[in-house]
Amino acid sequence: MSIVALLLWGVAALLGTAMLAIAISRRDSATQLVYGLILGITAVMFLAVSSHLVSDPAGVSVVTLPLGLPWIGAHFRLDALSAFFLVVVNLGGAFASLYGLGYGRHESAPHRVLPFFPAFLAGMNLVVLADDAFTFLLSWEFMSLASWALVMAHHREPNNTRAGYIYLVMASFGTLALLLAFGLLAGPAGTYTFDAMRAAEPTLFVAAAVLALMLLGAGSKAGLVPLHVWLPLAHPAAPSHVSALMSGVMTKVAIYGFIRVIFDLLGEPAWWSGVVVLFLGGLTAVLGILHALMEKDLKRLLAYSTIENIGVIFASLGLALAFKANAMPSAAALALTAALFHVLNHSFFKSLLFFGAGAVLTATGERNMEKLGGLIHRMPLTSFVFLVGCVSISALPPFNGFVSEWLAFQAILQSPDLPQWGLKVMVPAVGGLLALSAALAAACFVKAFGITFLGRPRSAAMEQVREVDHYSLAAMFALAALCLLAGILPGFVIDGISPVTLSLIGSRMPVQMAQPWLSIVPIAESRSSYNGLLVLVFITISASLAAVVIHRFASHALRRGPAWGCGFPDITPAAQYTAVSFAQPIRRVFGTFAFRAREKVEMPPPGATGPARLTVEMHDVIWETFYQPIAGAVGYATEKLNRLQFLTIRRYLTLVFLYLVTLLLVLALWP
């Protein structure tokens, strides 16, 4: 049996699990059985793909089934690119299923989640395996509909219905853009197989149109600005383990679609395509993290931070396009490796953070950070792994987020060799935006961890919370370990990614496992290198020595005094930093142009006893500029067209007659 056939059997098993879940989802044992089956299936698929990637990295396996369009069938293919993304999909699915074994016990409507969860995973696997346009689009739409059903699982909660509606509209828009892109690639002959598209040579106009359509189609699913509006609504609305899949995995399937078309099917890129993708990536990174900093809802904060990381990935892909167009294969391989490494890293730490947010929500019933605080004393294990996720996503060594972003900056440093002045200007500018977004990300997750877990409880209910179940903790600790391992042993990951860069770029980074002391060397050791293992050893030794010196030589006398309460005599949690007050300095610097932020202070007159009030007004500029006018126009048009429901039969027949005459005139005048 070929590896593709085995994976298709795995997809069939996931769909069978979905059918089983429909039948038993209202039973008490359904949660354990369904998530246990999904965990086993995704683990087997992950091991199968990993072994293929290790044993035969350059191998290509194909299967054609008598399904889909009658004249071409359904084509499926496993190569290095699809194998890498299948690792991301199934590893993320396995961890989400393990987490669901515990988290699912608290689910209020399991019959709305259990049938669609395995279907969602099956859809993502099929998208990555598809080798023709019809199968790809069918799988893409199936993935979108399954995830929409999961977003709508808690449809009775405020704003969830609106989130599901906007997600469905954006998903339909993205599918339409992908359909048009594949139509242009297929050409007049209608060659819908990917092999035929690879063999074709599109014109410059077709290449530009396909790039624009893929940015619209795949970019809307990934969360690229300004197509991101659904993401901060839908991700928080879904159950937390589904949010982890949508943010950590589904957005990566969208990136897979972009890479498959632009790097594989479209042929050699033009240099200006790198400029477009670079610009959108840098803009997405900065706006995404600025929005995250303004949030006080923990899950919305994580959703906006996903947009920032998508921007980092697209910026790296833009660099790879620019270098590839200018025949700089080594630099292109470095940039593409940085993008793919960050794809894997983001799936690790974003899943971990959403699991942590789900644990907080389960224990406290709250997502609003303003009502949390002090959880480190009640949930020490969750707070520890959440801290690991915060450090990883903040790109601090020795964890994995640092390595992929460091590789991206190493690729940016190769930009002086680019011949076009547009790229010479754009690449350093985007590098500055990425550096700014990295600094803002660190501030954002200091806020997320500090406001949620540190300080004093902001309500009496926070003092009664308990640690979550062992399944949830096991999933979070496993992901935390992977964040550390990928940070201290990145050479294994880079060498694992090399078959992908070889197939798409024709080059790869130097063999990292051949470097002494497990260092990584992007270009040459004389230029730059990094050793995560030595950094970990240095941090461990220096921290241990500092602790020993303090305990050995510091005074053993203790002094206790009341905490400073900002001048108030009674210690109160209200004197602590809140999420809004923490972000105030950054809001005052960037909020004027990013959010049109305005602060209004109302001071009581002299002698009055009423309190002063500070009101902050903020706007979602992109929503109000692009989407609100469209929504208003659609609403106005539907209101006017609503009159068509109340016509008489004679008027309906008259309309049909007029449409028929118009159609005949068009056909008669058509050249």
432 part of a folded domain: yes
pLDDT in tens, 187-246: 877 788 899 898 888 889 999 999 999 999 999 999 999 999 999 999 888 999 999 999
Q: What is the pLDDT of residue 68?
A: 74
For the chain (671 residues), the mean pLDDT of every run of 10, in chain order, is 90 95 87 94 95 86 84 89 96 95 85 93 96 94 94 84 90 93 85 87 90 94 91 90 94 96 91 93 94 92 95 96 92 95 96 95 89 90 96 93 94 89 90 94 94 85 85 95 94 93 90 82 79 92 91 77 68 78 86 82 83 82 85 83 82 89 87 64
531 part of a folded domain: yes
Q: What is the pLDDT of residue 394?
A: 94
Q: Which two tokens stand for residue 14?
A: 């996931």
584 part of a folded domain: no
583 part of a folded domain: no
The single-letter code of the amino acid at 670 is W
Same domain, 528 and 634: no
Count: domains in the chain: 2
Same domain, 658 and 521: no
Yes or no: say if 288 and 308 are a contact pair by the CB < 8 Å rule.
yes
Query: What's the domain range around 635?
Result: 629-669
595 part of a folded domain: no
166 part of a folded domain: yes
Quickly list H helices, 66-132.
Answer: 80-103, 116-129
Q: Which two tokens stand for residue 584?
A: 């105030």
Of 483, 502, 535, the residue at which a domain comes to its end is 535
Residues 342 and 617: their CA atoms lie apart, in Å, by 35
Same domain, 525 and 650: no
Of 535, 555, 573, the residue at which a domain comes to its end is 535
Same domain, 470 and 352: yes
Same domain, 177 and 58: yes
Q: What is the pLDDT of residue 434?
A: 94
Same domain, 312 and 444: yes
410 part of a folded domain: yes
Q: Which two tokens stand for residue 266?
A: 């479209």
Q: What is the pLDDT of residue 72?
A: 80
pTM score, whole prediction: 0.93
568 part of a folded domain: no
Same domain, 246 and 391: yes
Same domain, 170 and 50: yes
Q: What is the pLDDT of residue 203?
A: 87
* Percentages (nearest 5) of helix, strand, coil residues in the chain: 75, 5, 25
Yes or no: say if 229 and 627 are a contact pair by the CB < 8 Å rule.
yes
Q: What is the pLDDT of residue 1?
A: 66
Same domain, 634 and 530: no
Same domain, 518 and 661: no
Strand ranges in 289-408 using DSSP code E only, listed in sequence order: none
Q: What is the pLDDT of residue 461?
A: 74
Residues 483 and 398: their CA atoms lie apart, in Å, by 9
Same domain, 531 and 656: no
Yes or no: say if 323 and 423 are a contact pair by the CB < 8 Å rule.
no
Of 500, 535, 570, the residue at which a domain comes to its end is 535
